[in-house]
Amino acid sequence: MKKAIIQYLEQLQVSGITELYRTKTSKHSDSDSAIAFADKAEVLAEKKEAYKDCRKCQLWTGRDKFVYGEGNPEAVCMVIGEGPGAQENLQGRPFVGEAGHLLDKMLIAIKIKRDEVYIANIVKCRPPNNREPEQVERLACLPYLMEQIEIIQPRIFLLMGRVAAQTLLQSNQPMKVLREKPHDFLGRQAYVTYHPAALLRNPDWKKEAWIDLQKFQVVYTALQQET
Ligand code: URA
């Protein structure tokens, strides 16, 4: 446990995080959790505003809207995708296009409402023609995601697709291997499944995604009942 905390603090430091926020309080404890919720929502809103004109990488040149992320500031689960597409770039919200509609359905299939989780991406601005974000773009943007994780303190991650999984797990393994088992990410469990856009292109993979999601659901439900 101590090792995991040290590793976590080191990763935060590498990502440029200099402030820490208080952790989630139990919903059964007292009115403190409501205050924590308001604090987190406010901090996230301030951060979104502060970063919206970011020029840390070239992706800003094609940006209409900076897609910071959205959802429950007290989420037990953080869902992480690759980067905004056309619709997300126009609306400034993650996963609102065709892939987003499929993500909503995938979550509903495991009894999760979209607004119960927090949804973010590896990069906050749309890569041209929906190409994969380059390594330099991912690294420039990562401190924003690490800070969101630090504020929200999710207890589990659902990583959508290869780019999210390989970037956060610092791995070059293919999806077949990455999906095989949960991973340790910052001392919490991270589950990997296919990106909804990949499922739209390859509907045959949906059966396997369903198996991944069911495994995730068991652990997520248990964690949710604990909080
Ligand atoms: N694909 C992603 O990875 N993220 C989005 O927000 C939309 C599509």
> Mean pLDDT across the stretch 170-193?
98
Return d(Cα 48, Cα 25) in angstroms, integer. Answer: 24
Whether residue 121 contacts residue 94, with contact meaning beta carbons closer than 8 Å, is answered with yes
Q: Which atom of ligand 1 is nearest to the CA of 195?
A: 3
Q: Which atom of ligand 1 is nearest to the CA of 87?
A: 7
For the chain, which residues make up each domain, given as ranges? 2-14+27-226
Per-residue pLDDT, 16? 58
Angle between helices 2-14 and 135-152 (to 10 degrees): 130
Tens digits of residue pLDDT in 141-157: 999 999 999 999 999 99
What CA–CA distances, in Å, run from 8 to 3, 151, 180? 8, 14, 24
Tens digits of residue pLDDT in 52-98: 999 999 999 999 999 999 999 999 999 999 999 999 999 999 999 99
2-14+27-226 folds as Uracil-DNA Glycosylase, subunit E (3.40.470)
Model pTM greater than 0.85?
Answer: yes
If we measure between CA atoms, which residue out of 180, 153, 151 comes closest to residue 165? Answer: 180
Strands 183-185 and 156-160, how do they pair?
Answer: unpaired
Percent of the chain's residues with pLDDT above 70:
85
Distance 29 CA to ligand 1 centre (A): 36
**Which of 70, 82, 124, 160 is the pocket-test mutation for ligand 1 (most atoms within 8 Å of CB)?**
82
